[in-house]
Amino acid sequence: MCDTCGCEEHTHAQEVTPPVKIPVVQKILGANAQAAENNREHLQTHQISMFNIMASPGAGKTTLLIATIEALRAKKHIGVIEGDVASQIDAEKIVPTGAPVVQINTGGGCHLDAPMVHQGLHSLPLAELDLILVENVGNLICPVAFDLGQSRKVALLSVPEGDDKPYKYPAIFEAVDVVVVTKADLLPYLDFDLAAFGKLVHGLNPDAPVIPLSAKTGAGMAVWLDWVEKNS
């Protein structure tokens, strides 16, 4: 029997309410974009440039930061924001350079976001700095989607990772201002076609220079340091 009218001879179609769509991703990115703009304005007030450095774990981010700080010590006052899922190992490596450093642990998150960086900025002596280097969490996918308020985005790829990564992770190579090939001292020993890699990168991002270097030997560092100075 029909509960609506008591009729036994016909049935009533059940009305289905469509599910409510909550644009969670859009809300998160929207809030992040506003925080990023606040960071950008804050940095501009202090006349500070900020680079968002993105790469896989083990690509040599911290090693490059240390070499950069030491090479530009007489020209730039540099601060560092270190992003990691856990631990403060990388921040501890920065300390001997004398550069002020803040460690941000995401507690499992695969990237830094603008509100995290905002907190980090307030822990740095901004009045004393010209440049802030942000070492993002090691990942080639997540970090690129979150604006931090940076003035430049940098991608690192180490020679051991292989020259095919622009095929696999195109978004990061499309988005950055420069691509640094680290551990270039290993090129004679590994199957990494630097020319082919550069061609792939420029197919995605014609304006991004590709800079091979070795922070260990110093080869190629002059080109990188020149880029840093011109863009900060």
pLDDT band at 18 (very low <50, low <70, confident <90, very high): low
- Asked if the structure places residue 1 within a domain, the reply is no
- Asked if the structure places residue 14 within a domain, the reply is no
pLDDT of residue 27: 62
pLDDT band at 32 (very low <50, low <70, confident <90, very high): very high
User: pLDDT (tens digit, 9 = 90+) per residue, 168-179?
Assistant: 999 999 999 999
Tell whether the torsion through CA atoms of 137, 142, 146 and 151 is positive or negative.
positive
- The number of distinct structural domains making up the chain is 1
230's CB contacts (< 8 A; 6+ apart) are none
Domain hosting 221: range is: 47-230
- Asked if the structure places residue 12 within a domain, the reply is no
What is the rounded CA–CA span in Å between residue 223 and residue 79?
A: 21
What is the rounded CA–CA span in Å between residue 198 and residue 179?
A: 9
Query: Stretch 1-6: mean pLDDT, rounded?
Result: 45
CATH number of the CATH domain containing 105: 3.40.50.300
- Asked if the structure places residue 112 within a domain, the reply is yes
- Asked if the structure places residue 8 within a domain, the reply is no
Q: Smallest Cα–Cα separation from 228: which of 7, 53, 92?
A: 53
User: pLDDT (tens digit, 9 = 90+) per residue, 109-157?
Assistant: 999 999 999 999 999 999 999 999 999 999 999 999 999 999 999 999 9
* pLDDT greater than 60 at residue 14: no
- Asked if the structure places residue 160 within a domain, the reply is yes
Scan for tokens 């644009």, then name that residue: 23
Tell whether the torsion through CA atoms of 64, 55, 165 and 145 is positive or negative.
negative
- Asked if the structure places residue 210 within a domain, the reply is yes
- Asked if the structure places residue 21 within a domain, the reply is no
